[in-house]
Amino acid sequence: MPSSYATSTHSSSVQTAQSISQQIGSRVRNMAQLGQPTVDIELDEANHGPNAKYVTSYSTMDEIKGTVHVTAQTDTRFEDLEIAFIGETHVYVDRITSTPSLSGRTEATHRFLTLKQPLGRDDFPTPRIFLARKTYSFPFTFTIPTQLLPRACSHSVSSDHVRNTHLMLPPSLGDPSLAGFGGTLLDDLAPEMSKIVYGIKVRLASLRETDGTVYFLAEKFKKVRVKPAFEEQPPLTVDPSDQEYRIRQAKTIKKGLFKGKLGTLTAQSAQPKALVIPGARTTGAPAITTMAKVLLRFDPADESNPPPRLGSLATKMKVSTFFSSMPRPSFPTRSALSYDLTQGVYSETINLSTLCIASAPWEKRSSSENPASESLVRRDSGISDCSTGPTADDTFNAGILPASKHYKGGPFYTAEILVPITLPMTKNFLPTFHSCLVSRMYTLTLQLSAHAPGVADPSLGLKVPIQICAEGSDTGNENARARNAEMRMVSEADDLLRPRSFAPPPPPMGVDDLPPRYAAFGQVGVANVR
């Protein structure tokens, strides 16, 4: 499973397009002169069903089975036939600067997956000549891996967690001919600047007798859609300086023009449970839903002031696709785009729902129920205290927010709103993922409005991270269970056949008894003890 990065910079996209067009035209003409054999890639009907228009989705541990058919118009000698399942990332970033010499386009290609079908001598005709107008068939079978090999992410990273995330199999992205579910093509909200493509690639090679060089008689590539399984990751730790998120917001409410303050309204939310996409080839799947929670607190300026009447709560989903022409050592952030010209981001916002929350009840609480704010770990303020008091998450789960800075003691009011989040079926939502060059992230926006006696009704906006995960297919899960059971049986057999010693344990090792290439702490020159 080799990994490769290829990066190039062009000052003019027009010249690049013309160059590529000339290369393709020249290659097609050369192949036509050589009498190019016909190569056809056929997937098994059991994989994609009898409907030819049905686009198959493959998931983790699914098998891709099919047959390659080769037909030559004339007797054609060949050297080798290669059948591979590959995965590649293609990215380009347009750089626009005030200096013309620095402007242009940077492109990158990363082949992160290559699985080759083993073919032996008995699979080829002897001698290696394709007879004219005779069709030769070569079956193949590939299994979608659960993760990539370490060589797929060979660049430096800031942590092991980033490395492990980059080694997760990314989903197909950015191809309008494949994006969707089943036979329905849907927009996956990806820009043209980033594509993740999987497919079966066939190359027929021959040996030129004049100089002994290898050249390709024919090439064929058939794209397939891959939707790997993604488990829910730990909640994102929000940096208070990150403008992408706003976990908590407070706003002062006035009675009217020159009439004083009514109080302070505070809203806070947290990352909800992940949305889970059903497995590949699932039929009759239910709606993809989760539940978000918003806590409200009203600190009145005077004990006699009632809480404001609540109005509506609108929810939106912000879909962000980050892409880079250079391997990234850490997770992408919008703040890095201002100084790193090799990165870019494309975002779209999807309206989800608007709820009327006028009937949400306020609960009056006494000052004794106010959480001790001085011992809280506040995500929104960045203030931390190592004392053993309640944390902000504890108070959020308990349904009571910390007081605002205008709270002067006395009674206050709290409310809790549960917000259902449902993904629309008109878009193709991909799981949250991070690869070496492309990332997909989601932000849930909660816009709350209230009615006040003042000139304008107050509005509070929260922006919290949200994950989208994906289940595996039924056949993929079954194959994974069978593989795990087989590995357990092999491990148990090895343990059973392993020789056992009933001798007393050896005494503790001294410095001279250390294993080879082991250095004792505080010792020098003992690394090569034998």
Q: Are residues 193 and 341 in the same domain?
A: no
Q: Quick check: is 31 in a domain? A: yes
pLDDT in tens, the chain (530 residues): 555 677 665 544 444 545 655 665 555 555 444 568 999 999 986 555 544 455 788 999 999 999 999 999 999 999 999 999 999 999 999 987 667 766 688 999 999 999 999 999 899 999 999 999 999 999 999 999 999 999 999 999 999 999 999 999 999 999 998 898 777 889 999 999 999 999 999 999 998 888 888 899 999 999 999 999 999 998 988 887 788 999 999 999 988 777 788 999 999 999 999 999 998 888 777 899 999 999 999 999 999 899 999 999 999 999 999 999 999 999 999 988 888 889 999 999 999 999 999 999 999 999 998 886 533 433 333 333 333 334 455 557 667 899 999 898 899 999 999 999 999 999 999 999 999 999 999 999 999 999 988 777 889 999 999 999 999 998 999 998 888 887 777 666 666 666 655 555 555 544 444 443 333 333 333 333 33
- pTM of the full predicted structure? 0.82
Q: What is the total count of domains within the chain?
A: 2
What kind and span of H or E run contains 265?
strand 261-269
The stretches of 222-291 forming alpha helices (DSSP H) are: none
Please give the Cα distance from 196 to 431 (Å, whole number). 13
Q: What does the CA dihedral 192, 198, 204, 206 come to, rounded to 10 degrees?
A: 70
Query: For residues 499 and 66, what is the distance between their CA atoms, to the nearest angstrom?
Result: 45
Distance CA 445, CA 217 (A): 54
Helix%, strand%, coil% for the chain, nearest 5: 15, 40, 45
Whether 25 and 125 share a structural domain: yes
Regarding whether 221 and 93 lie in a shared domain, the answer is: yes
Contact 73, 106 (CB under 8 A): no
Beta-carbon contacts of residue 486 (< 8 Å; ≥ 6 apart): none
Q: Which residues pair with 465 in a beta bridge?
A: 443
* 103 falls within a domain: yes
Domain boundary among 426, 454, 470: 470
Residues 380, 442 share a domain: yes
Domain match, 160 and 278 both: no
CA distances from 80 to 34, 119, 154, 416 (A): 17, 9, 30, 67
d(CA 388, CA 322): 39
Give the separation between CA 78 and CA 106, rounded to whole angstroms. Answer: 38
Q: Is residue 182 part of a domain?
A: yes
Q: Based on the fold, state whether residues 270 and 154 are members of the same structural domain.
A: no
181 in the same domain as 303 = no
Determine the pLDDT at residue 525: 35
Ordered DSSP codes for 182-229? TTEE------TTEEEEEEEEEEEEEE-TTT--EEEEEEEEEEEEE---
Confidence at residue 515, expressed as pLDDT on a 0 to 100 scale: 40
End-to-end alpha carbon distance in the chain: 37
Which residue(s) pair with 413 in the sheet? 298, 364
d(C-alpha 147, C-alpha 159), whole Å = 18
Show the tokens assigned to 219: 């090439």
279 plus 337 within the same structural domain? yes
Strand partners, 5: 110
Give the burial class of 378: count Cβ atoms within 10 A of its Cβ; 0-12 exposed, 13-18 middle, 19 or more buried. middle
Asked if the structure places residue 237 within a domain, the reply is no
Both tokens assigned to 272? 């909800």
179 and 294 fall within a common domain = no
In a domain? residue 108? yes
Residue 47 belongs to domain spanning = 4-226
Q: What is the CATH classification number for the domain harbouring 85?
A: 2.60.40.640
Q: Which 3-state string (H, E, C) describes 371-387?
A: CCHHHCCCCCCCCCCCC
Q: What's the chain's length in residues?
A: 530
Clarify whether residues 265 and 135 are in a common domain: no
For residues 294 and 209, state if they share a domain: no
Report d(CA 168, CA 153) in Å as an integer. Answer: 10
